């Protein structure tokens, strides 16, 4: 059968609603949640608007570091970059793949760097000055442990973090990472973050302690968003120790 015929037949098949099973660490062990294609599409739209808020636009180039098991948010970032017509290269976020990050950085000269991990930075630091590498990017969204390393090297990094099954993305105001209030209820109990699924999520998730030290700011952000902001204790503690 010709390939075109195969694709035409495949298009007629029922598509299961389920896109991913998301496994995430909570205070009392690993939890699983279903993630549908419809939810993934809504999450992608939200990430697109957040990245647009950072000034991402056609003609820029992006470097994304992510691991395969992070598809529940990696897929949304890739979808957002495509929607914004920003070409991207992807390297693995684990430390052993830092050379691929270096190669993409050299070849792409990215305007936008998303998902940097402390492990990648530690690998790169053996042969490069991470400040010099990333200061020229107009947007750097990095993981919690990477943010203080970057800020210490003079890079205006913004925080991105998985908050259980949700993604938190800091805006240019850099006063906490926004979580999509239309999909999630994020809060704090005794200095720890908790999350629950909003009513629109197919998979139910009652309020779940995440074992992540932090607090939540509500109210309108200077960026104009009403989405609550997560401030992690770790990132806050280290940002004041910059030299």
Residue closer to Zn ion, measured from CB, 213 or 223: 223
Q: Is 223 in the site for Zn ion (CB under 5 A)?
A: yes
Taking CB under 5 A as the criterion, the residue among 34, 49, 122, 173 binding Zn ion is: 173
Contact 35, 203 (CB under 8 A): yes
Nearer to Zn ion, 93 or 221 (CB): 221
Q: Which stretch binds Zn ion (CB under 5 A): 151-159, 170-178, 180-188, 197-205?
A: 170-178
Residue 171 found at the interface with Zn ion (CB under 5 A): yes
Q: Which of 19, 56, 194, 221 binds Zn ion (CB under 5 A)?
A: 221
Write down the least CB distance from residue 146 to Zn ion, Å: 20
Q: Which residues pair with 189 in a beta bridge?
A: 192
| Residue 77 to residues 33, 46, 80, Cα–Cα distance (Å) | 19, 10, 5
H/E element holding 200? none
Q: Report phi then psi at 6, rounded to 5.
A: -60, -45
Binding-site string for Zn ion from residue 195 to residue 214, where x marks contact by CB under 5 A and - marks none? --------------------
Choices 7-15, 97-105, 164-172, 184-192; region in contact with Zn ion by CB under 5 A:
164-172
Query: CB–CB of 169/229 below 8 Å?
Result: no
Burial of 47 (0-12, 13-18, 19+ CB in 10 A): buried
49 binds Zn ion (CB under 5 A): no
Residue 111: HSE in the Cβ half-sphere, 13 Å Cα cutoff: 12
* Interface with Zn ion (CB under 5 A): 171, 173, 221, 223, 225
């Amino acid at each position: 059968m010709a390939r075109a015929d195969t694709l035409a037949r495949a298009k007629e098949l029922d598509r299961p609603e389920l896109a991913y099973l998301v496994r995430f660490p909570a205070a009392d062990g690993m939890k699983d949640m279903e993630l549908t294609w419809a939810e993934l599409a809504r999450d992608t739209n939200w990430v697109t608007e957040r990245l647009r808020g950072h000034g991402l636009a056609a003609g820029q180039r992006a470097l994304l570091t992510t691991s395969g098991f992070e598809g529940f948010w990696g897929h949304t970032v890739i979808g957002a970059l495509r929607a914004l017509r920003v070409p991207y290269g992807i390297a693995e976020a684990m430390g052993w793949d830092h050379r691929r990050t270096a190669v993409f950085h050299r070849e792409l000269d990215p305007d936008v760097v998303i998902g940097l991990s402390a492990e990648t930075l530690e690998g790169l630091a053996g042969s490069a000055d991470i400040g010099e590498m990333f200061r020229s990017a107009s947007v750097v969204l990095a993981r919690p442990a990477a943010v203080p390393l970057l800020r210490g090297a003079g890079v205006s990094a913004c925080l991105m973090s998985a908050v259980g099954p949700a993604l938190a993305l800091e805006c240019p105001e850099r006063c906490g990472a926004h979580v999509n209030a239309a999909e999630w209820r994020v809060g704090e109990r005794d200095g720890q973050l908790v999350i629950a699924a909003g009513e629109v999520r197919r998979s139910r998730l009652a309020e779940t302690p995440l074992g992540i030290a932090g607090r939540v700011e509500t109210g309108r952000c200077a960026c104009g968003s009403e989405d609550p902001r997560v401030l992690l204790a770790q990132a806050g503690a280290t940002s004041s120790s910059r030299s």
